[in-house]
Chain A
């Protein structure tokens, strides 16, 4: 088996989204103590989105909003309690096995140190994936060295090094190389640059942009840093307490944040322009506990525009413009919210 047999060939053509996630749900059972009542953490609760071939979907939200859980669902590290994942037209579990999915989707984790085995040289770490998928060791080594070169680490100098001998930025490059060794079409970057210094972060982001072009990649870019997400993403998805509250193209969302939560996130983003004042008050307090999420719209406990309807009913998803969707009563003419556009 050679490197070319890794990964999955294109099946659905350019119009078919690479990934369709529909109504993804992941509930973890928890118990308050051995005899406490059984409860459920609604980490991801009915999340739907698509990722087109070649685009970058940015995912933002506070910690604990279900970003990382969604990522782990997409690569099969956690089993979904409900919903469907359709990869290039094939449904996971029906037309597509987990093993096959993993050849098409790879992930880069936040902690560059914890995601590399300290006992393996970086070359061995990168070659591991191809090897376990049947590529012969010499060929896997060649793949690893090519990738090291490609991610900006001279194989002659770096191949035999161990993770602790690299800087954080270098390690994260290795993690990207390790993901690419599987020839994936979708790479999930879970806070992949969040732990890096700003200067290093910019270099890695540039590398990611280059790799996307050269390897024809699709990214799902998860971050809490809106500045970074904006820089790299074509579309944005905003999550709050396990649900998608708003999704749309990066420009559209930048121009107009339909959901008060999105608006609050954007206003909290430090602006380069001191005259750019925000009208929306910054978010106060912490997100509620996902074990007992608030009724109706989950954001109503922190929303400056909350009315009775927000606590009573779950908002419908409303389409505002092309691909711009929001789940908020204020944009649903039928909701009865005082600010709802007639």
Chain B
């Protein structure tokens, strides 16, 4: 190994790049992540702009056109048990399912990161209180906890959001705490303290930037779980109420149709599966692009 003063400049000068530039460069070379990102973007855009895509009314059914098979003229994905156009309902269904899958993770990310940062940075009895509480919530399997809280609060979109957020705060807090505690031990935090910086400045400049990556990657890996549980709550009748189009609820109401037109009944699940697969693959891609160890 040679030192700067004697070493010829092997690197082209001023090629320095920040962390995010490096991440983007690695993502760009990863076709799986790019394709998944494109599919997710398409699903999200279609969900957002569903009302303006000129599709059939997802609420308006017709008793004479019930449970038409896939490929029916005018209904490429058939119709549901009330004769509503499946394509329109699948596209519109993405609005609630994606919303219920992503929002709780975002909220839990904000709350869990804050709690974990505090617990990990302050340590001591503050850490004990926060982490022991988290342990208690960890004693519930996530699906069970979501069903317990939703079951007590009753059905509804807001209640689903609340219960799912509560479910995902503990795991994110745990990751945030352990990452923060390990960053806090690094010499550059000591060096910053030695230069007289206050705790708030140290957290903002030196801790936050270095813990956000791993927590973010972890949170993205929870999004698919969250969406599956959210749709599962609706499937149990605990989430979205009819006649709203939502993939989990659609699966539930179409269950009776599996003897008549099974493949139409399975379609909402296909949407959940594709979305969740893309979310997981993208999260894996981000993990390796961001150099986060599991």
| A residues at B contact (CB < 8 Å) | 72, 75-77, 99, 102-103, 105-107, 109-111, 114-121, 125, 128-129, 132-133, 152-153, 157-158, 160-162, 165-170, 173, 175, 178-179, 181-182, 197, 199-200, 203
Contact B4 A153 (CB under 8 A): yes
Contact B201 A132 (CB under 8 A): yes
A5 to chain B, nearest CB (A): 13
Contact B16 A102 (CB under 8 A): no
The 5 closest A-B pairs by CB, nearest first: A129-B195, A115-B187, A169-B3, A109-B187, A132-B197
Contact A109 B1 (CB under 8 A): no
Complex CA distance for A173 and B6, rounded to whole angstroms: 14
Name B208's closest neighbour in chain A (CB-CB). Answer: A119
CB-CB under 8 A for A114 and B196, given A119-B209, A166-B4, A203-B5: no
Residue in contact with B19 in the complex, picked from A99, A119, A170, A200, CB distance below 8 Å: A119
Contact A132 B198 (CB under 8 A): yes
Residue in contact with B16 in the complex, picked from A106, A110, A161, A168, CB distance below 8 Å: A161
Chain B neighbourhood of A161, CB < 8 A:
16
Contact A170 B3 (CB under 8 A): yes
Chain B neighbourhood of A75, CB < 8 A:
194
Chain A neighbourhood of B16, CB < 8 A:
121, 160-162, 165
Name A77's closest neighbour in chain B (CB-CB). Answer: B190
Those of B170-201 within 8 Å (CB) of chain A: 186-188, 190-198, 201
Chain A neighbourhood of B133, CB < 8 A:
none
Q: Size of chain B's interface in residues, with CB distance under 8 A?
A: 32
- Sampled A-B contacts (15; CB under 8 Å): A114-B188, A115-B188, A115-B190, A118-B19, A118-B210, A125-B188, A128-B197, A129-B196, A132-B198, A162-B17, A165-B11, A169-B4, A173-B4, A197-B1, A203-B6
Contact A128 B205 (CB under 8 A): yes
B73 in the interface, Cβ–Cβ < 8 Å?
A: no
Name A203's closest neighbour in chain B (CB-CB). Answer: B3
With A118-B210, A181-B195 given, can you name 5 additional A-B contacts, CB distance below 8 Å?
A: A106-B195, A115-B191, A118-B19, A132-B197, A178-B195
Residue in contact with A117 in the complex, picked from B1, B3, B206, CB distance below 8 Å: B206
| B residues at A contact (CB < 8 Å) | 1-7, 9, 11, 13-14, 16-19, 186-188, 190-198, 201, 205-206, 209-210
Chain B neighbourhood of A105, CB < 8 A:
194
CB-CB under 8 A for A157 and B196, given A111-B187, A115-B187, A169-B1: no
Contact A199 B3 (CB under 8 A): yes
A182 to chain B, nearest CB (A): 6
Contact B193 A133 (CB under 8 A): no
Residue in contact with B191 in the complex, picked from A118, A165, A178, A200, CB distance below 8 Å: A178
Complex CA distance for A125 and B9, rounded to whole angstroms: 23
Contact B191 A157 (CB under 8 A): no
B121 to chain A, nearest CB (A): 15
CB-CB under 8 A for A160 and B14, given A118-B19, A167-B1, A167-B2: yes
Chain B neighbourhood of A129, CB < 8 A:
192, 195-197
Chain B neighbourhood of A162, CB < 8 A:
16-19
Contact A200 B14 (CB under 8 A): no
Name A190's closest neighbour in chain B (CB-CB). Answer: B187
A106 to chain B, nearest CB (A): 6
Name A166's closest neighbour in chain B (CB-CB). Answer: B4
A335 to chain B, nearest CB (A): 41
Complex CA distance for A181 and B191, rounded to whole angstroms: 12
Chain B neighbourhood of A77, CB < 8 A:
190, 193-194
B205 to chain A, nearest CB (A): 7
Complex CA distance for A59 and B188, rounded to whole angstroms: 23
A303 to chain B, nearest CB (A): 35
Chain B neighbourhood of A182, CB < 8 A:
195-196
Name A161's closest neighbour in chain B (CB-CB). Answer: B16
Residue in contact with B194 in the complex, picked from A107, A160, A170, CB distance below 8 Å: A107
Contact A128 B195 (CB under 8 A): yes
Contact B4 A152 (CB under 8 A): yes
CB-CB under 8 A for A167 and B195, given A115-B187, A116-B188: no
Complex CA distance for A153 and B13, rounded to whole angstroms: 13
B232 to chain A, nearest CB (A): 38
A115 to chain B, nearest CB (A): 4
Residue in contact with A167 in the complex, picked from B7, B19, B197, CB distance below 8 Å: B7
CB-CB under 8 A for A114 and B186, given A102-B195, A132-B197: yes
